[in-house]
Amino acid sequence: MDGEGGTFTGSKGERRLQNTEFAFPIVVGTVAFFLGKKATEYESHKWTLYVRGADNQDITHVIKKVTFQLHPSFQNPNREVFAPPFELTEVGWGEFEIAIQLHFADDAFEEPVELFHKLKLYSETEVAGHQNPKKPVVAEEYEELVFSEPAEEFYNRVTNITPEPAPALSIAQYTLSFDPQLELQKIAVARQRVAHTKANIQRQLEALT
């Protein structure tokens, strides 16, 4: 989304656009398979963790590296992926929250952003030991990366690129489809709810004073 305004100099000498912001949609997810007869106490599931474009488009014009922080019990829990597909595959037995750092292109002059994703191994309708090895558990989240007053060079470059399809994820056939407009509406409704809640709390506090 563009606004009307001039430019100013950022902290690193870059030119930034005033009153301007744009959103870049991505999807963070996991696809997990029960190993069936091959499952052991500590290796019951094989899962793939990934960051992808919302339309499976290439995202390297914005994101240059993704760092996945796994549970400390994994060997080398901090994994860096420098090229698409931004994914990794592991075998384990437990669910846990994964920290994901997104590192942006150099001309963005932005610090990495950290997201969190919960690894899901079990669906709501299945229990441990009674899963279908051929039916994966898919957990995906749509995210909007909002760049406020972006670097001018970065903004001009990114907004004038028509991304090519990204290299396919190894589990691409199981990923979900997202409608960006619908997701934006959900985000807007959520923000309205937060604003409404804050207003109610403020009125309650004022009533107490």
**Backbone phi, psi, residue 24, to 5°:** -125, 115
| Model confidence pLDDT, tens digit, residues 159-191 | 999 999 999 999 999 999 876 665 555 555 545
Report the predicted TM-score, pTM, of the whole model to 2 decimal places.
0.83
Please say whether the beta carbons of 119 and 137 come within 8 A.
Answer: no
Tell me the pLDDT tens digit for each residue of 88-99: 999 999 999 999
DSSP one-letter code for 165: B
The SS3 assignment for 65 reads: strand
Tell me: the pLDDT tens digits for 91-133?
A: 999 999 999 999 999 999 999 999 999 999 998 876 655 788 8
Give me the pLDDT at residue 123, please: 87
CATH topology assigned to domain 7-177: Immunoglobulin-like (2.60.40)
